[in-house]
Amino acid sequence: MNLIQTLEWRYATKQFDPTKKVSPDDLEKIKKAIQLSASSYGLQLYKVLIIEDQELRERLKPASWGQDQITDASHLIVFCNYAEVNDRDVDEFLELKVETQQLDMQEVEGYGDFMKDKIDEKSAVEQAHWTARQTYLALGNLLAACAELKIDACPMEGFEPDRYNKILGLEEQGLNASVIAAIGYRTEDDERQFAEKVRKPKHQLFEKI
């Protein structure tokens, strides 16, 4: 499997070469991989910010524990989950489904009512946690896509979401910064790229029942 080889190649890159940029063509491929990510009910209750602006990234760096990846990487990707979910979010999905699959709205109304009922069962806090978890599925696709393209990536939880929300004006949009990733190209002298991967052996990680 090429996927196994590319996953063996990747690592959480800490030292990026600020002179190397991800091409627009490769960035479109990464965006497509994120777009195709699985999500609960297919709702994709998140938005993905692709930040190139260097001045903005300098402002975000202190809210990211001062980590150099924020400013040195080619792009900073911010996955933002919906803070809460309402019926309109489901209705928009159903409209898109009807248009894409050339269905009659009556064919999907029952499914829509089911989704709305299940979502309404969740408290506001539960909804926020649920939508935040969806962003990690998209993050996984980003990491795999970057590895296949030989683009380095560093998934990061080391940041302050509240400060990101304020700097990026996310709360006004009903969004919350849940997880981020820096993408670009490693420096040649980053010794971490030569380190053996440390992973649990399969006999500890898996159990057949």
Q: Give the tens place of pLDDT for each residue, 41-92.
A: 999 999 999 999 999 999 999 999 999 999 999 999 999 999 999 999 999 9
| Tens-digit pLDDT profile for residues 84-127 | 999 999 999 999 999 999 999 999 999 999 999 999 999 999 99
Q: Which domains does the chain have, with CATH numbers?
A: 2-205 (3.40.109.10)
Residue 25 has what pLDDT? 98
pLDDT of residue 113: 98
One-letter amino acid at 122 equals K
Instruction: State the pLDDT at residue 29.
Output: 98
pLDDT digit string, tens, across residues 157-198: 999 999 999 999 999 999 999 999 999 999 998 999 999 999
CA atoms within 13 A on the CB side of 199: 10
The reported pLDDT for the residue numbered 167 is 98
The three state secondary structure string of 87-140 is HHHHHHHHHHHHHHHCCCHHHHHHHHHHHHHHHHCCCHHHHHHHHHHHHHHHHH
pLDDT at 123: 97
pLDDT in the model for residue 119 = 98
pLDDT score, position 40: 98
Tell which residue, 9, 30, 58, has the closest CA to residue 183.
Answer: 30
- Interior CA angle at 70 toward 69 and 76, to 5°? 110
Position 1 pLDDT exceeds 90: no
pLDDT in the model for residue 184: 98
Residue 27 has pLDDT above 80, yes or no: yes
On whether the CB atoms of residues 66 and 186 are closer than 8 A, the answer is no
The confidence score (pLDDT) of residue 180 equals 98
% helix / strand / coil in the chain, to the nearest 5?
A: 55, 15, 30
Please tell me the pTM assigned to this model: 0.96
* Residue 30 confidence class, pLDDT cut points 50, 70, 90: very high
